[in-house]
Structure 1
């Protein structure tokens, strides 16, 4: 019943619905222009075991299973303030994260960078990739490891272009469009009821004037001839009651015979 009334109100006040839809479209366009979007880029870096851990002539990738602990220490160091601080100060609108790549079982670090522009995102990604070898070297320098026992890094893949992430803008557009459409219908229904109520009050307050369709003027009254006029007793004009004439007593023949 409510939807039927709302549909009827929208049909009667179609101009209000049109105005509301235009306002909603304008607000949606404004949100589309100002809503923030994010650009993302990723890179994968693998840890390579040292030469001393590999049998001469074997493939180093076959010995990557024992580097999980080293990768954990490495990612913690990359996320520390000493490494993140200079990068975040140089690019305050960008963020990055370094974690183990869950899609593989090997010691592979996944670097993910997000920023407000494509150029900034790629710059931060290259900056993090440039810091990673120095960070690994500093960790091994603290342990005074010989060169033959040091872990090296191998960059597996780097995004050359960024990916546009517009989920936040899409959600904002859907919310604004839904609120605008619902508000248009509800306000149209309320305005329609108020206008109908106001019109009803005007009709009830107006008192119809008596019609003069059956009133006749003196000139239009039918004139009777003297023969059709009813005589009026003269006493009615003088204000006295008309005299009543009494008939003489009737003669009773039966009474005479009895005498």
Structure 2
């Protein structure tokens, strides 16, 4: 089936098409409700080396080489179940990811927060960003690190506004719309094919209902006035008459050809004059013997011939 045939089927079954489009619109609305847009926010936190490593008058950014391991320890803590339950309990839809920023070679920790509203997203981001230096200091205190060797943090960047993310909603809407449109086209084409096949079958069927049953009684015929009408029943001898005759039966042997009477011929001497019309009734009839006389004469001639030969 070509594209034009599909379009024609949709036009012929416009009721199915309209119902399918309305159902598709409902699916799209439901998909957008099930998967609403979310808001995201991001922050980057840098680990700064201790005073002992930097030295007096040193540059902290030149001594970032050995801080990759402390950064991974902090990331491991925030990915634990205890930390997730702690920082996600304020909003049931909040999700966050704390990881090492792979785009840089330094000890940079990225914090990505996703929530259902912009305010809740920024609130969770602020909570996580402010807790990183606290948790880092707590971890160092647990190992009794000296004061001059404690690693600190620096917030490199933090979003002040949450960004809306419609990717999930768009995927759900596209999927729902595609399913609805495909179902509409399939339903319209199927209904159109069914209706057209039934119409074609009715056109090809018998037009006379009585002719469909050969043994059905014929309709009643009107009789003479005052006598009523009598239905004409089926003829019991009709089937016997319609059967072909057996050529081997004696009753079906061909009969002898009938005798042909030849016209009378006038000799030239007795032709009537031109002023009088011809009259064949005055002429003697041509001898036309019956069949048995001819056979008898033929047999007699054959007998005479055989007797002559025997002499």
TM-score (norm 1): 0.74
Q: CA distance change for structure 1 residues 20 and 104 in 2, over 3 Å: closer, same or farther?
A: same
Q: Does 1:162 align with 2:167?
A: no
| C-alpha separation in 2, matches of 1:7 and 1:47 | 64
**Higher RCO (CA-CA < 8 Å; seq separation 6+):** 1
SS of 1:43's partner is: strand
Q: What does 1:1-259 align with in structure 2 at a 5 Å threshold?
A: 1-203=1-203, 204-207=205-208, 250=284
Q: CA distance change for structure 1 residues 189 and 128 in 2, over 3 Å: closer, same or farther?
A: same
TM-score (norm 2): 0.63
Cα offset, 1:62, TM superposition = 0.8
Cα offset, 1:111, TM superposition = 0.7
| C-alpha separation in 1, matches of 2:106 and 2:160 | 24
Cα offset, 1:141, TM superposition = 0.6
Q: CA distance change for structure 1 residues 205 and 77 in 2, over 3 Å: closer, same or farther?
A: same
Gap runs ≥5 in structure 1: 210-246, 252-259
Bigger helix fraction: 1
| C-alpha separation in 1, matches of 2:81 and 2:188 | 56
Q: CA distance change for structure 1 residues 205 and 183 in 2, over 3 Å: closer, same or farther?
A: farther
| C-alpha separation in 2, matches of 1:141 and 1:60 | 21
Cα offset, 1:56, TM superposition = 1.8
Question: Any conservation in 2 of the 1:78–1:135 contact (CA below 8 Å)?
Answer: no
SS of 2:31's partner is: helix
Gap runs ≥5 in structure 2: 211-280, 286-311
| C-alpha separation in 1, matches of 2:76 and 2:168 | 30
Greater Rg by CA? 2
How large is the RMSD of aligned CA atoms in angstroms?
A: 2.5
